[in-house]
Amino acid sequence: MEHLLSVSLGELILKGGNRKYFEDKLIKSMRRAMADIGFEKIYKGQGKIYIEANKNDFPALIKRLEKVFGIVYISPCIKAEKDYESIKEAAKLLVEEHGYDEDDWTFKVVSKRGDKSFPMTSPEISKELGGYLLSQFPNAKVDLHNPEQIIYVDVKANSYVYSERYHARGGMPVGTNGSGLLLLSGGIDSPVAGYLMAKRGIVLNAVHYHSYPFTSERAEQKVIDLAKIVSRYTGPMKIHSVNILDIQKEINEKCDERMMTIISRKFMMRIAEKIAKMNNYDALITGENLGQVASQTIDALKVTNDTTDMLVFRPLIGMDKSDIIEIANDIETFETSIKPFEDCCTVFLPKSPLLNPKIEDINKAEEVLDIEALVDDAISKMNIIKID
């Protein structure tokens, strides 16, 4: 008898013909998540994915797999032969290993017969096995409604017996729904936005804008740290690090001070669009949130939105800050996000930004700038940082 991890998949079950494609993407993410811990084998089997590994590594592997999108839960299980005697043996071993019988305990058996040629029906397996366990363990009682332990039995090409389910995050395997370029600041919102879109299957890469030497190297390091945390869920990532100081100086010199923020924001969108098109990314992703700050009033959003014809995802648009912070805490970006390093946007912060900018006014104001040259120049000097 062998100890394995069995992994249950989420929405990809619904995808019919695409199933193999989804499973292969998922296995790729799982391999990456487990790489440095190590495992022996990973394979598909009738709706689940199984991992052979050193049993002592199970807790560490489960921790990693809990972060892989497309997984609903993970169970350490005992693999037995496809016959009732082996199932009994496996169930007994399971109870012994968990020490369930050290005190009074209640249980029920839940069986699923995937292989209809197996001579017992699911209710028969549950009933017989329940009786057997009662006969072996003096402290055990059956409770069908509110048991402390559920002993699961899956009968397929082999039998699998388990009692624990570690819940993962669901979502869809990264790489099954195109690719996106995340505008990643050092703030709370954008890492959460990237996480949420990757959870829907998008491959994530990032662009970060800084104003070095007005902003520090430590501010840049903070963004790399954030990207590393996000990449635990989303996979390898490229960060395009773009200095926009020259652009900000140019705007500062030639445009109405109150338009500084909104025009900078338009440049961020333009540069992002260009990088996305160079790399064939499908969409842009921002952490924008309606009404949060001056640059995110409905009029300001209209202006930024008008800057690009690309698909722009703003997954946080309707969320409350407290809900965003809850996710940031959950994915462990919050502590890094609140470290107090300067952001490029604050370098030339106007005293009173325009709250209701109009598209035509901003476009007119920008006419004094050589937009294309500024964009191209910034991109030609960008730095690419790879996170594996």
Q: Is there binding between residue 241 and ligand ATP (CB under 6 A)?
A: no
Decide if residue 251 touches ligand ATP (CB under 6 A).
no
Q: Does 216 bind ligand ATP (CB under 6 A)?
A: no
Task: Copy the structure tokens of residue 320.
Answer: 């409350």
Closer Cβ to ligand ATP, 42 or 325, answer by number: 325
Place of tokens 């809850």: 326
Among 125, 230, 344, 365, binds ligand ATP (CB under 6 A): 344
**Which x/- pattern over 272-311 shows residues binding ligand ATP (rule: CB under 6 A)?**
--------------xxx---xx-xx---------------
| Residue from 118, 154, 177, 189 in contact with ligand ATP (CB under 6 A) | 189
Q: How far apart are CA 109 and CA 126, in angstroms?
A: 5
Q: Which lies closer to ligand ATP via its Cβ, residue 16 or residue 340?
A: 340
Query: Which of ligand ATP, Mg ion, none binds 248 (CB below 5-8 Å, type-dependent)?
Result: none
Span interacting with ligand ATP, options 32-40, 182-190, 229-237, 361-369, rule CB under 6 A: 182-190
Does 185 sit near ligand ATP (CB under 6 A)?
Answer: yes
Residues of this chain, 179-208, that bind Mg ion according to CB under 5 A: 185, 187
> Hey, CA dihedral for 342, 343, 348, 352, is it positive or negative?
negative
Other C-beta atoms lying within 10 Å of the C-beta of residue 379 = 16
* Cβ-based nearer residue to ligand ATP, 293 or 359: 293
Choose the contact partner of 295 out of ligand ATP, Mg ion, none; CB within 5 to 8 A by kind. Answer: ligand ATP
- Please say which residue, 6 or 296, places its beta carbon nearer to ligand ATP: 296
Find the shortest distance in angstroms from Cβ 280 to ligand ATP.
20
| Closer residue to ligand ATP, CB minimum distance, 126 or 289 | 289
294 binds, among ligand ATP, Mg ion, none (CB under 5 to 8 A by kind): none
CA distance 68 to 239: 21
Q: Are 219 and 186 in contact (CB under 8 A)?
A: yes
Are the C-beta atoms of residues 343 and 186 closer than 8 Å to each other?
yes
How far is 23 from 173, CA to CA, in rounded Å?
A: 8
- Candidates 138, 214, 190; CA nearest to 317 is 190
- Shortest distance (Å) from residue 133 CB to Mg ion: 57
- Please report how close the Cβ of residue 210 comes to ligand ATP at its closest, in angstroms: 6
> Does residue number 334 form part of the binding site for ligand ATP (CB under 6 A)?
no
Cα–Cα distances (Å) from 294 to 264, 265, 277, 290, 357, in that order, read 13, 12, 29, 10, 10
Identity of the residue, 154 or 273, whose beta carbon is nearer to ligand ATP in the bound complex: 273
Beta carbon nearer to ligand ATP, 158 or 252 = 252
- Amino acid 250 reads E
- Alpha-carbon distance of 375 to 380, in angstroms, equals 9
Distance, CA of 197 to CA of 317 (rounded, Å) = 13
Best CA proximity match to 178, nearest among 198, 192, 159: 198
CA distance 101 to 104: 6
Work out what residue 298 binds among ligand ATP, Mg ion, none; the CB cut-off runs from 5 to 8 Å by kind: none
Query: Which residue of the chain is nearest ligand ATP when measured via CB?
Result: 187
State how beta strands 166-170 and 383-387 pair.
unpaired
Q: How far is CA 20 from CA 73, 176, 226, 275, in A?
A: 19, 11, 32, 31
Residue with tokens 């040259």: 373
Q: Which of 45, 170, 187, 350 is close enough to bind ligand ATP by CB under 6 A? A: 187
**Counting contacts by CB under 6 A, is residue 209 touching ligand ATP?**
yes
Q: How many residues does the chain have?
A: 388
* Least CB distance to ligand ATP at residue 231 (A): 16
CA–CA distance, 54 with 102 (Å, rounded to integer) = 26
The binding site for Mg ion (CB under 5 A) comprises 185, 187
The binding site for ligand ATP (CB under 6 A) comprises 183-185, 187-190, 207-209, 268, 286-288, 292-293, 295-296, 343-345
